[in-house]
Chains A and B, each alone.
Chain A
Amino acid sequence: MEFFHKVPNINFLKARKLAMGMSVVVLIIAVVSLFINKLNFGVDFTGGVTVQVAYPQPAELRQIRDTLAAAGYKDAIVQNYGTPEEVLIRLQPKQGVSDKDTGSAVLTALQKASSSVKLEQVNFVGPEVGKDLATKGALAFFLTLTGILLYIWFRFEWRLALGGVAATLHDVVFTVGFFSLFHLEFDLNVLAAVLAVMGYSVNDTVVVFDRIREDFRITRKGTPFEIINLAVNQTLSRTIITSGVTLLVVIALLILGGPVLHGFSVALFVGIIVGTYSSIYIASATALMLGVSKKDLMVVVKEDRNVDDMP
């Protein structure tokens, strides 16, 4: 089976201005949404208490809300989690009560109303922990970005490095914006997924860059435009297969991974799709606009080692 019997000849970069314009519009929407909707941060970041309980029969959410309100938790958010039998209750920290005891207090109240309720999970996160997490997440993000920039600069060239960083940034803003726009909960696992998307996106970009460099070195004629277009076309088959296979796996996680991994899988799903797009349009097109040319990549490298001696 083959998707492309010969190297396709699609003029990807011809549409680069249109694509970049679209990307800019989408990113503006993402940023505006981040300002207006903000992110629906999970308890990992905001602090507070979540209690997950399971009933033997489908849970009566209204009854649970009433029970909790009677116990003094009027602002409790009660929703189903995964299955109709399971319920997730979210509470904000309250004055006068120690947060630590909220979980057991909620459970006691629910048990009084229905003795068959079972405790599945209690998460209590103090506000200082959440803040710490947000800072660390931001730091990890910027350091990863810097690491990527330096690596591509060192291995390739600064124009490509900037292209790679632009693409990675694009993917992250898009994914986070997606979570903001659709009010999806942003928890610790989603943060991990976003950072994994960075790794994936750059992986994809580097493969295309590698081909761009190779083509610049072996082709005698041709404008940078033509050569980059050629490289994108040559790697297209690989790009689609790798992204497709990774997406298959993410779909498996999405279907069977359960509610805990749901946000994680959604972030990866979105991230991988935009990551594939961005290595073509954002990364390569940025490098082209910055004027990358043959002479920038003509470093004499001895590549004549016998492959059989390689590890």
Chain B
Amino acid sequence: MQKTQEKRRTMKQVMLGALVGVLGGALVPLGAAQAAEKIKVGLMLPYTGTYAALGTAITNGFKQYVQEQGGKLAGYEVEYSVVDDESDPSKATENASKLVKRDNVDVLVGTVHSGVALAMAKVARDTKTLLIIPNAGADELTGPLCAPNVFRSSFSAWQPAYAMGKIVAERGHKNVVTVSWKYSFGEQSVAGFKEAFEKAGGKVAKELYLPFPNVEFQPFLTEIASLKPDAVFVFFAGGGAVKFVKDYDAAGLKKSIPLYGSGFLTDGTIDAMGGSGEGLLTTLHYADNLTNPKDQAFRKAYAMSYKIQPDVYAVQGYDAAQMLKTGLDSLKGAKFDKDAVIKAMAAAKIDSPRGAFTISKAHNPVQDIYLRKVEGRDNKLIGVAEKGLADPARGCRM
């Protein structure tokens, strides 16, 4: 009963809309300014739980760009629908569907957790909704599961790890042990590292995995000590990253076996490491002291608005908004047309605080990966590890 009523109401709205459209078209001369069109943005991000800080940073970054554009994107008023995804994959499909079907959003933006993002991508493909992923790095999203309407403003797990593989080989290490959590992001990071490192002549002696989110590293440290590799490559983030780096240092291994990591090891975690992180080398698509004017302006404005320094997550949120704006620009104020927006976004060159990047065929950023060194409380830039690195997008047919 309710459903038929709803249907009737929507029918009515459509008819009314059509009528207004026809009349409007007849009365208003071609190309004249109409009342500003709206764009509905569905933010589906974690605002509670382990990744709450990341979700907030991404939202702040997105809104920062909209604010810089005078509260509009390409002249479109932005209307937000916000859902806390709790980083819970079991609720992801329902949450995403709610935004698409109930709130009728034009574009979905989310999320941090790869498992949740995979479910969102499925909803986006099924409903043909435009999706911009501002963090989740699972290779599949722009690999086997790529789709014309799915974009990513962040990175693939493969990218920073691959760049580090080359660096570690260049620094003369031949024999490396890797440690990571046993879940897809960790395994993809290790695979990316291994690919570049072995291509450059190195050998991964052993891959150690422990179940997520276990953080009892002592047995592995003992094993590393007895294997005596030239270096160790790890993927950990958040509390696990802090604990690993501290334990590694406390076990005395930092002195004899250098430690390398994907950039998440030292992002937002340096303070908590309390000195144990000093000197660590990591690779990521962002660093703390980039010299481009865009980044300097961004950092200043962000710190003014939110009273904290931005991080890589804020940059990814900011760039999600930039990508959307580039797409909307192509419409020149006309009604939202997804296909035109997608075409423009795919061809875009984004002037990001991380440095300009383009979009790959599979819709992942083609970007510079930086080599950074922990100095004090910063991830100091010491060079470009890979220039314009594109994810191989294996399995993507598009």
Tell me if chain B binds chain A: no
Q: Which residues of B contact A (CB under 8 A)?
A: none
Q: Which residues of A contact B (CB under 8 A)?
A: none
